[in-house]
Amino acid sequence: GTHANAQATISITNGGKLVVDGTGSIGPFDGINLGVNGGRADVTVSGIGSSVDISGNNPILQVGRSGATAQASFSVLAGASASAMFLNVGRDSARGSMLIDGAGSQLTLAGAGTPGIAGAAFGNVGRDGGNGTATVSNGGRWLVTDAGADTRPGGGSPGIIVGRGAGGTGLLEIKGAGSTVEIVSSSLGLAVGVADNFNPYMSVGYDSGSSGELKVNSGGKLLITGNAKTSLTDQRYTGLVIGGRSPNTVGGVGRATITGLGSEVRLAGTDAYVSVGRGSGGQGVLDVLNQGHLDSTGLDVGWTGGTGTMTVDNATVRLSGGPFVDGGGAGITIGAGTGSVGVISLSNAAQISLSSNTAPFGINVGGGRTLDGGTGTLNMASGSSIQYSGTAGHALTVGRSLGSTGTMTMTGASSVVLGNNGSLLIGRVVGSTGTMTMRTASTLSANYVGIGSTPGVDTGTAKLIVTDSTVTAPTVEIGKLGTLGGDNGTINGLVINRGTLAPGESPGRIIINGGILGDGDLVLDVASDGQGGFLTDALILTKISTFDLGDMKIIFNFTGTTDPNLFLGSGKFDLDTFLLSRDGQTDSGLSSVFVQGTDWGDLLDSGQFSAKADQFDITSLTFNTDGHFGVIAVAVPEPTTWAMLFAGLAVLVLNARRRSAAV
C-alpha cells in the first residue's frame, strides 16, 4: 500500500513465514512499511509457527507510515510471532493499529541499533502527527529488550513511547489474564566505575503537542525491569513517565489506567520510578482502580513544572527498595519544583505501602528533597491507609521545601502508620507551608510529630487539625509558626507547645493523653449559643497526663457577637471551665487533680492571660488565684453606627461653621 488508493493485504498462516533480512546491505534501515504515502496495508500472521521476522541493519516495522489518508494494521494471532528492533504504529499523519492476541502470540523488539543512527530496541505508538493503537490481549506478549547488546554507543534505552512528536496520539491497551508488555535491560557486567547499559524507559504523552493513553485492565500487566548498574557519573534510571519527559523540556499529555483484579504495572530493578506530569507543560493522570496494582521504588506526581493527578480507588500502590543513586529511598513526591502541581486521592480502602531497609524513605506533599517550590495535595477517604515498614528512617512531610505548599486531608476512618522510626513533619523547613486535617475517626501513629518543627527547632508555617480523630506519638511538637487545633481530637503523647494550641473549631475540645508543656499560646474560644448561653473551648487532660502551664500564654477569644460582660455574669469565666481533667468518661475541672493546698495562683500568674473580642474592646482583665476572672468590655460600634456617628459630627461641624459666619 505504497500510495493513495493503493491497498495491500497479506495473510501468513499455518506455519508460513515472512522474512526480511538486510544482513550485508548498506542500510541504514531494513524493514517493512505498511500504508505509505496515503495507501492502505493489512497484515495478519496467525497460528503456531507462523511468523514475520525482520533482521539486518536497524530492522524496523512501520504500521501506518505516512500520509493523511494512510491506514495500516498488523495482527499477531493464535500463537504466531513477529520480530524486529524498532516499531512505529501510526507515523507522519498516518493511522496504524497493532493487535497481539492469544496465548503464545508474541512481538519481540530486540537488540541495539547502529551508533549515530539508532539506539536500543524501541517502539512508538502514535508519532509525529500520526495516530496509533496497540492492543495486547488474551495472553499475548510484547517484549522490548536490549537482548544483552551494548546500548551505550547508540545512547538509547530499550522502551516504548505512546504519543510522540507534535500531533502524535497513541493508545496502548493491555487486557486479559496473561497479557503482558515487558521492557527489560541487561547489565554488561563491567567493572565498578565503568558506565553500564541504559535502563528501560517508557512515556505516555512524551513531548509538546503529543498525547498518549495507557490502559491495563482485566488482569493485564506492564513490566519494566532495569538490570544495568548506575552511578552518580553515569545515572541509569528505570522510568515510566505519564505526561511529559525530562525536566528541561516541554512535555505532552498522558493518561494511564490500571483497573481490575490481577492488573498490574510493575517497575523493578535499578532506580525505578513512575512520574505523572513531568516537566514544563507535562500533564499526567494516573488512575489505579478496582483492585489494580502499581509497584515501583519511586513515584512523582507533578514534577519540575508539570501537573499530575493520581486516583487510587479500592486498589494498591507499593513502593519499596532503594537507595536511588542520589541517596533517596522508596517514596512519593507530590508537587515538587516551581510551578508544579500534584494531587493524589485515595478512597474506598485504597492502600499505599512503603518500605526500605537501606535508605531513608517516605512521602513529600508539596516540595521535594532536592526541589524547592511546588504545590501538593494528598486526600484520603473512606478507610484508605498508608503503611510504612522497614528499618530505614522515614517521614511523611506536608510542606517539604522552601516556597512549597502542602495540604493533606484524612476522612472516613483513614489511617497512617509510620512506625517506631517514622515522623510526621508539617512545614518541614523555614519557608515551607503545610496544613493537615484529620476528621471522622481517622488515625495517625508515628515516633514524632512536628508541626512547624523538627526536634527542638522551629521551621515553617504549619497547621494540624484533629477532629474526631486520633494522633499517637511519644512527642508532638508545635513550632513558633505552628498551630494544633480541632474538635474532639485525641493526642496520645507529650505536647510541646512553642506556637499555638487552639482546641476546638470555634469552639470545641482537644484531649491530651500524655502531657503538655511549653511557652507558646493557648487560645480558648468563647461563643454565644444564640439562646443566652455560651459554648467554650476545652483542653482536656487525661488523669495520667502531666502538665506545666507556667510559661504558656493563655488567650481568651470572644468570637462573633459574644459579650464578655455577659459571659462573666454566667459564672463560667473560670479556668476550670476551659481546662479539664478526664477520669474514664468523667470530666471535671483541672484543679480537682491539684495537690492538696495548691490553687491556680501557685501554677499561673496574671501576666500569662489576655483576652480579645470581635465586637468588644476589653479594657480590664483580672485573674484570681482561685481560677476566676474579672472582665470589663465596651462594645465597638458597628460600621453603620460609625457612619451615622461621623455623619452626625459632620452636621454639627457644618452648623457650627454657619453660626460662626452669621456673627
Identify the residue with better confidence: 242 or 596. 242
Decide if 161 contacts 119 (C-beta within 8 A).
Answer: no
User: Which residues face 477 on adjacent strands?
Assistant: 450, 496
- For the segment 537-553, the average pLDDT, to the nearest whole number, is 96
User: In whole angstroms, what is the distance from residue 522 CA to residue 545 CA?
Assistant: 17
- For the segment 72-79, the average pLDDT, to the nearest whole number, is 98
- For the segment 66-94, the average pLDDT, to the nearest whole number, is 98
- For the segment 432-438, the average pLDDT, to the nearest whole number, is 98
Start-to-end CA distance of the chain, whole Å, equals 110
Read off the pLDDT of residues 145-184 as tens digits, 9 standing for 90 and up.
999 999 999 999 999 999 999 999 999 999 999 999 999 9
Q: Can you give the pLDDT at residue 418?
A: 96
Residue in this structure with the C-alpha cell 478496582, named with its chain if needed: 290
Read off the pLDDT of residues 479-518 as tens digits, 9 standing for 90 and up.
999 999 999 999 999 999 999 999 988 799 999 999 999 9
Read off the pLDDT of residues 39-49 as tens digits, 9 standing for 90 and up.
999 999 999 99
Read off the pLDDT of residues 102-142 as tens digits, 9 standing for 90 and up.
999 999 999 999 998 999 999 999 999 999 999 999 999 99
Q: Is 484 helix (H, G, I), strand (E, B) or coil?
A: strand
Number of Cβ within 10 Å of residue 425's Cβ equals 29
Rg (CA), the chain: 33
Decide if 278 contacts 304 (C-beta within 8 A).
Answer: yes
pLDDT at 320 over 80: yes
- For the segment 342-352, the average pLDDT, to the nearest whole number, is 98
- For the segment 605-622, the average pLDDT, to the nearest whole number, is 96
Q: What does the mean pLDDT of the chain come to? A: 94
Q: Is 596 helix (H, G, I), strand (E, B) or coil?
A: coil
User: How sure is the predictor about 441, in pLDDT bands with cuts at 50, 70 and 90?
Assistant: very high
Decide if 94 contacts 132 (C-beta within 8 A).
Answer: no
- For the segment 554-568, the average pLDDT, to the nearest whole number, is 97
Q: Give rounded-to-5 percent helix, strand, coil for the chain.
A: 5, 50, 40
Identify the residue with better confidence: 104 or 660. 104
pLDDT at 645 over 90: no
Decide if 555 contacts 623 (C-beta within 8 A).
Answer: no
Q: Can you give the pLDDT at residue 299?
A: 98
Decide if 59 contacts 88 (C-beta within 8 A).
Answer: no
User: Pairing relation of β-strands 521-528 and 534-536?
Assistant: antiparallel
Q: Can you give the pLDDT at residue 437?
A: 98
Decide if 245 contacts 279 (C-beta within 8 A).
Answer: yes
Q: Can you give the pLDDT at residue 122?
A: 98
Q: Can you give the pLDDT at residue 412?
A: 98
pLDDT at 643 over 60: no
Share of the chain above pLDDT 70, in %: 96
SS3 assignment for 207-237: ECCCEEEEEEECCCEEEEEECCCCCCCCCCC
Share of the chain above pLDDT 90, in %: 89
pLDDT at 662 over 60: no
Q: Can you give the pLDDT at residue 247?
A: 80
DSSP 590: G
- For the segment 259-286, the average pLDDT, to the nearest whole number, is 97
Decide if 343 contacts 307 (C-beta within 8 A).
Answer: no
Read off the pLDDT of residues 216-239 as tens digits, 9 standing for 90 and up.
999 999 999 999 999 989 999 999
Q: What would the DSSP string read from start to end of 371-411?
A: ----EEEEEE-TT-EEEEESSS-EEEEES-STT-EEEEEE-
- For the segment 627-642, the average pLDDT, to the nearest whole number, is 83
User: How sure is the predictor about 322, in pLDDT bands with cuts at 50, 70 and 90?
Assistant: confident
Q: Can you give the pLDDT at residue 639?
A: 62
117-131, 515-529, 587-601, 644-658: least confident range: 644-658
Q: CA dist 519 to 496, 497, 551, 552, Å?
A: 9, 6, 5, 4
Read off the pLDDT of residues 193-221 as tens digits, 9 standing for 90 and up.
899 999 999 999 999 999 999 999 999 99
Residue 401 backbone phi and psi in degrees, to 5: -135, 175
Q: Can you give the pLDDT at residue 640?
A: 57
Q: Can you give the pLDDT at residue 659?
A: 34
pLDDT at 582 over 70: yes
Half-sphere exposure (Cβ direction) of 310: Cα atoms closer than 13 Å: 34
This prediction has a pTM of 0.94
SS3 assignment for 328-340: CCCEEEEEECCCC
Residue 305 backbone phi and psi in degrees, to 5: 100, -5
pLDDT at 651 over 50: no
Kindly compute the dihedral angle of the four CA atoms of residues 107, 110, 114, 118, in this order, to the nearest 10 degrees: 60
pLDDT at 589 over 90: yes
Q: Can you give the pLDDT at residue 474?
A: 98
Residue in this structure with the C-alpha cell 507558646, named with its chain if needed: 520
Q: Can you give the pLDDT at residue 329?
A: 85
- Comparing CA positions, the residue from 225, 214, 250, 255 lying closest to residue 339 is 250
User: How sure is the predictor about 298, in pLDDT bands with cuts at 50, 70 and 90?
Assistant: very high
- Comparing CA positions, the residue from 382, 314, 376 lying closest to residue 351 is 314
